[in-house]
Structure 1
Amino acid sequence: MLKKYRTSDLLNYFGVPRDTLRFYEEKGLLNPKKNSENNYRNYDIFDIYNLMIIDFYKKRGMTIHQIQDLLNKSDVQDIQSLLGNKRSELEKIIYDAQCMLKRIEETQKFSRNLDSNLNTFTIKSLPQYRINGEVSDFIAVEEYENVKDIMNSNNDDMLSQIMRYISFDKNGVIAAKMLIVDTAEVKNENDNYLHYPKCLYTVVEEIQPQDEQEDLIKKMYRVSSEYANTHGLRLLGEAFAMIRLITYKVNKTKAYIEIFIPFE
């Protein structure tokens, strides 16, 4: 005669809570016998084996519904198909998590270096970016419809794909627009790229609403021109800016913006 085990035994031996066992029973995954005198559940070794089978497939990402189907009827081909689908789903989850981890690390690095880079010029290269599209201005909301498919195709947030491009000459700012970009290690001959080995680099703050702040573009033109003249640098008449961090305080947002200004 097979030995019987109570619900408390399964908790003690396997760590399976009472609610989990009841849930499995409701879904037809377990079918323990009930004592007619006290209505207690009695589990035998076959129930325990079934419990291990459920755990086996749960640990491979199967849903309760899929496990129900497997326990009802399945063969090797069925299981191969399910495992293949689960592997694809898991690979996507892992890829998304790796991308998120990379973004977290980049933002952490930017935050750690913020004090030393804020309002201070150093020399740095502009990383290679691929240009995927453009809009006339950050606030030209209607134009984003033309680039939404591009932005949604990348595993990145919207802000990190928007780069402000500014052109200027000795008389001041000529024009500005927003480029839709992503970083690219390898060039494709059919795409357009940005990469400058020598740039003035700094980080500035932009507070919204702006109140009495000097316009950021005009300010950067002024201070970068002064720095270039003092250090004998010839600016190339272009600048690139991207938001890297945002904080909030008293109904105001403060954006920390990374700026690259190429020179010869």
Structure 2
Amino acid sequence: MYTIGQVAQFLGVSRDTLKFYEEKELVKPKQNIVNGYRKYNHFDIYDITTVNFYREIDIEIKKIQELRKSKSIEGIKSLLEEKEQDVLEEIEYKKLLLKKIQIVKEDCEKIKQFLGEYTVQEMKPLEIKGEIKHFTAYDEYETLKKNTDSLKKAVTLTSLRRVINFNDEGMIEDGFLIVREVEDYDKEIKGEILSHPKCIYTVIEDGRWSTGGKSIDHSVEANLRKVAIEKGCELLGIVYINLLLTTYEDELERTFLEIYAPIK
């Protein structure tokens, strides 16, 4: 027979945890009527180590209580398979989250390299997942989110691209595309693919810290027209804008935008 202190020490659990297990009837040590001391036998040790295992794999207390009462081998297997699927989905999500973090790190490098610079680059293919006709059309965005399998998938499911159409007289319309970057040999493509082999590319700064809250659309348009003339190319009348990063200076946001303006 073992005292609560001995069990806590060699199983690496706290006394409070053992008392919690007892309160939830997951372990039932004998208690001395005179002094109230608990005594644990080897069957209690089996119970505690089993409960620890189920807790480590994040099985809820209620389910462990059900297991404690009665559960066939097939029932345990079914429970473990369910938990296995949860873990696999969580691993997949973490992979996607890691990828997103790595992309933002790359975006920081883009800002350092291309801020205020104008080059000609390819806009890599994007799969169009949906369209929002105007930035105030929140109901459209909510509908698109509800059509996803899981909100967790928003990590990679979507990123917004603002799309501005313009002609010689100025802006015609603007809206948003919800897109997914297409990987090499991507087998999950279901929507329309958007790509442009040649674009004027730059990174610009927006936000109240740098602009005082004023719109910079017209100045960006003017700069693109100027660069197009300098490079001897023609703008196609459309611009794709991607939010790279937002940070803060003097409690005012500094937003960095990636611009692709297709040319011919």
Asked whether the two chains share a fold, i.e. TM above 0.5, the reply is yes
Give 1:223 shift: 1.0
Once superposed, which parts of structure 1, at least 4 consecutive aligned residues long, lie more than 6 Å away? 187-190
Q: Which position in structure 2 is the counterpart of 1:178?
A: 176
- Counterpart residue identity of residue 217, structure 1: D
Asked whether 1:132 is paired with 2:168, we answer no
Q: 1:119 to 1:92 in 2, by over 3 A?
A: same
Q: Which position in structure 2 is the counterpart of 1:206?
A: 206
TM-score w.r.t. the length of structure 1 is 0.86
CA distance in 2: counterparts of 1:125 and 1:7, whole angstroms: 68
1:130-171 CA distances to partner (integer Å, 9 max, x unpaired)?
223322321343544554434676712599532111223344
Give 1:9 shift: 0.9
Asked whether 1:115 is paired with 2:103, we answer no
Q: Which position in structure 2 is the counterpart of 1:93?
A: 90
CA distance in 2: counterparts of 1:123 and 1:187, whole angstroms: 29
- Counterpart residue identity of residue 49, structure 1: Y
- Counterpart residue identity of residue 166, structure 1: I
Secondary structure of the structure 2 residue equivalent to 1:115 = helix
Q: Which position in structure 2 is the counterpart of 1:165?
A: 163
- Counterpart residue identity of residue 262, structure 1: P
Match of 2:27 among 13, 26, 30: 30
Q: Which has the larger displacement, 107-116 or 24-33?
A: 107-116
Matches within 5 A, 1:1-264: 4-150=1-147, 155-156=153-154, 161-185=159-183, 186=186, 191-208=191-208, 211=212, 213=214, 215-250=215-250, 252-264=252-264
CA distance in 2: counterparts of 1:174 and 1:16, whole angstroms: 67
Q: Which has the larger displacement, 91-100 or 245-254?
A: 245-254
Asked if the contact 1:132–1:150 (Cα under 8 Å) also holds between the matched residues in 2, the reply is no
Secondary structure of the structure 1 residue equivalent to 2:93 = helix
TM-score w.r.t. the length of structure 2 is 0.86
- Counterpart residue identity of residue 247, structure 1: T
CA distance in 1: counterparts of 2:42 and 2:238, whole angstroms: 75
Q: 1:150 to 1:256 in 2, by over 3 A?
A: farther
Q: 1:181 to 1:151 in 2, by over 3 A?
A: farther
Asked if the contact 1:160–1:243 (Cα under 8 Å) also holds between the matched residues in 2, the reply is no
Secondary structure of the structure 2 residue equivalent to 1:104 = helix
CA distance in 1: counterparts of 2:141 and 2:101, whole angstroms: 26
Aligned residues: 260
Secondary structure of the structure 2 residue equivalent to 1:61 = coil
Give 1:211 shift: 3.8
Secondary structure of the structure 1 residue equivalent to 2:241 = strand
Asked if the contact 1:159–1:243 (Cα under 8 Å) also holds between the matched residues in 2, the reply is no
In the alignment, structure 2 segments of 5+ residues that lack a partner are none
Q: 1:58 to 1:38 in 2, by over 3 A?
A: same
Give 1:35 shift: 2.4
Asked if the contact 2:8–2:18 (Cα under 8 Å) also holds between the matched residues in 1, the reply is no
